[in-house]
Amino acid sequence: MSEQAILQNEIDITEKAIKQIKRIKEENNIPAEYGLRIGVKGGGCSGLTYQLGFDAEPKEMDTVIEKEGLKLFVDGKSLFYLSGTILDFSDGLNGKGFVFNNPNATKTCGCGESFGV
């Protein structure tokens, strides 16, 4: 499999999001070695909702993605829906928070917290 094909199956994260995640970890005394768990679950007005949280270590079947000292943990089911997604952070006029730029989402809700495929 080519490197480009591998990258298309992963999740990317912007510099702005990395800085925000590191700030949150520091402010909440979350150990530096903890990773960010990114996932999806059923629910929301469009069918699936995004989830973010911190875990001490990956689970057995997780994909681990590392970027600038930050580890992302993604389970296989979530990776299926999030493949190619870019996690960003916005602090603009439309609100403050993490933004999932998901190429797989065929519909999204107005708040941007749920999607459908």
| Extents of the domains making up the chain | 3-104
Specify the pLDDT at position 104: 78
Specify the pLDDT at position 114: 47
Specify the pLDDT at position 23: 94
Whole-angstrom CA distances from 85 to 53, 81, 110 are: 17, 9, 19
Residue ranges of the chain with per-residue pLDDT less than 70 = 1-9, 43-46, 94, 106-117
**Phi–psi pair at 79, nearest 5 degrees:** -60, -35
Specify the pLDDT at position 116: 53
Q: Class assignment of domain 3-104?
A: mainly beta
- pTM for the full predicted model: 0.78
Specify the pLDDT at position 15: 94
